Structure 1
Amino acid sequence: MSEPITPDRKRSRSPGYPSFSLQEAIRRAAALYKHDKRNPVPVAIAAEHWGYSPSSSAVMLSVATLKKFGLLEEVGGGGSRLVKLTDLSLHILLGTEGSSEYRKALQDAALRPQVHAELWEQYGTELPSDANLKRTLVIEKSFNDAAASDLIREYRDTILFADMASSDNMSGNATEETQKEASTMLLESSHLPQMSASPIPQKPQGLKRYAFPLADSPDAELFLPSPLTAENFDLLKAMVQSFLEMSKPALIAKKSNQEPRAVD
């Protein structure tokens, strides 16, 4: 549970890391290339290409993540914030899949985030268990628990996608708790965090329950640690907003007597 900030205690802020894997970052880069090729594009237009409203907090998370992978850069100035695809991004998008040049570009992008480069230098293909790696991230690299868990999932996915290690080496020996957390935090199609679609039988320990009445339907429930830091509030807002936008077609019934389909 997060603790209130006091004058003698600074808020725990994790180092920067990608919000989703390289595979998803390339998918979003491809959406920009499809619509605007190599031209600079306002961030608001990029948001539309990704299926977001320009005011969505998820837009800036996407821009930041593509920049961390070296796939996007900011250009120009003035009143409009512009972004464009980098040369590395174009090498991947226009390269021949399976070629040595394509594989090299993927691996270059995979290690562009500083924390990725540090983990690769320290462990290579022999990553420790999730629990052991999480301990290292929290103690040695000042990550908080939630950020460490998110990074571990994203890093393993990215290294596998870039063909830098086998699935056996990247499995992490995840515990049942870790697997459950992963299934309820990620949209399979987008690698963006999601909330579980299945009912929760009881309030998890240390969390506060919030119920939201719905018309002709059971209440929607949300469990949150209390209090939240300002940083975690903004992150939660972005994740919930992303979940609702990305899963709207699956959650909304097509007919009045048809139940919404759960997102696996």
Structure 2
Amino acid sequence: MSENDSKPRFRSPPYPAIDLSKAIERAKQLYSKAMHHPAGTAVLAEAWGYGEKSSGLWATAAALIHFGLIRDEGTGPKRKFTLSDIAVRIIRDADPDSEKRRDAIRRAALSPTIHSELREKFGIDPGLSDIVLKNYLTLDRADEGKAAFSDGAADDVIRIYKDSMAFAGIAISASLPPLEEGIGGDDDDDDAFDIAGIRAKRETMKLASSPVAPKQPTAPQYGERVLQDGILSRETTYRIIVKGKIGPREIDRLIKKLELDKEILADAEGEDGEEENIFS
């Protein structure tokens, strides 16, 4: 075994496979077929000209999820995709230059985790060298304890990131006001870690997974940012949105909460004889 073969290998972190401009075009194509109604993979395939099992279809769907343009629910043949409120605002706003539409586009551009991360670290500097970005993606992230990108993936990330920022017209000083009045706020209270509270939310979580439960927005609101998102399996994606400061202490609390949720899922499986996907 060579020295290179002995090095650990890992996948590059998830990122959108297409830029925001193309993603919005795909959202428009889906709207022409399904409007605001949930659509299955057959409808997506028809709208985008892919086969239902095509890797291009799933890469496109994942990209729209990254940008917060579609939401998904269910698994397997029952999996459905619905255009988000942000996507509908971008597509249907009668004034293409309205402030609310521009805000929606900016939010979509920064919705992918790696985009918000790069903007926070480097700002939007037109003169920033791609070499600086690539070194960060392929080397510096590993030094910070994060998963690094392969060279090819880093090149794709940089291109898609820059094209999306340019399309959204985001500058270093760009602010992101709320899409609607009264959304968000400056409340950064650090609530105590409440184990009993987590357990008490079990029934609420089950109700939230029911088909008649109201759908929760996946795009960050004012004062929020995407901490992490990605794909857990072909049928499951995740997104963690935070508001306020996030550091080692908050990460430790998040881990404890997830461990408790894992226990709750195990309890549910033991009681009902089969696994309950209460986080779908």
TM-score (norm 2): 0.55
Query: In the TM superposition, what is the alpha-carbon distance from 1:156 to its structure 2 partner?
Result: 0.6
State the alpha-carbon separation in 1 of the partners of residues 18 and 2 from structure 2. Answer: 29
Residues 90 and 5 (structure 1), Cα distance of their counterparts in 2 relative to 1, 3 Å cut: farther
Residues 119 and 6 (structure 1), Cα distance of their counterparts in 2 relative to 1, 3 Å cut: closer
User: For 2:152, what is the secondary structure of its paired residue?
Assistant: helix
| Identity over aligned pairs, percent | 38
Matches within 5 A, 1:233-252: none
| Counterpart for residue 132 of structure 1 | 132
Matches within 5 A, 1:1-264: 9-77=7-75, 79-95=77-93, 96-126=95-125, 128-141=128-141, 142-165=148-171
| Counterpart for residue 219 of structure 1 | none
- Contact kept, 8 Å, 1:5 with 1:11, in 2: the verdict is no
Query: In the TM superposition, what is the alpha-carbon distance from 1:91 to its structure 2 partner?
Result: 1.1
User: For 1:79, what is the secondary structure of its paired residue?
Assistant: helix
- Contact kept, 8 Å, 1:40 with 1:83, in 2: the verdict is yes
State the alpha-carbon separation in 2 of the partners of residues 150 and 6 from structure 1. Answer: 24
- Contact kept, 8 Å, 2:115 with 2:161, in 1: the verdict is yes
CA shift digits 1:5-34 (9 cap, x unpaired): 999543231111110100000000000101
- Contact kept, 8 Å, 1:14 with 1:144, in 2: the verdict is yes
State the alpha-carbon separation in 2 of the partners of residues 162 and 123 from structure 1. Answer: 17
Where in structure 1 are there 5+ consecutive unaligned residues?
A: 167-264
CA shift digits 1:108-132 (9 cap, x unpaired): 0000001100111112221520112
Query: In the TM superposition, what is the alpha-carbon distance from 1:80 to its structure 2 partner?
Result: 2.2
Q: Figure out how many residues of one structure are paired with residues of the other and give that number.
A: 164
CA shift digits 1:84-103 (9 cap, x unpaired): 10111111111221111111
State the alpha-carbon separation in 2 of the partners of residues 53 and 79 from structure 1. Answer: 15
Residues 19 and 4 (structure 1), Cα distance of their counterparts in 2 relative to 1, 3 Å cut: farther
User: For 1:155, what is the secondary structure of its paired residue?
Assistant: helix
Query: In the TM superposition, what is the alpha-carbon distance from 1:78 to its structure 2 partner?
Result: 6.4
User: For 1:11, what is the secondary structure of its paired residue?
Assistant: coil
* Letter aligned with residue 119 of structure 1: L
* Letter aligned with residue 167 of structure 2: F
Residues 77 and 149 (structure 1), Cα distance of their counterparts in 2 relative to 1, 3 Å cut: closer
State the alpha-carbon separation in 2 of the partners of residues 104 and 78 from structure 1. Answer: 34
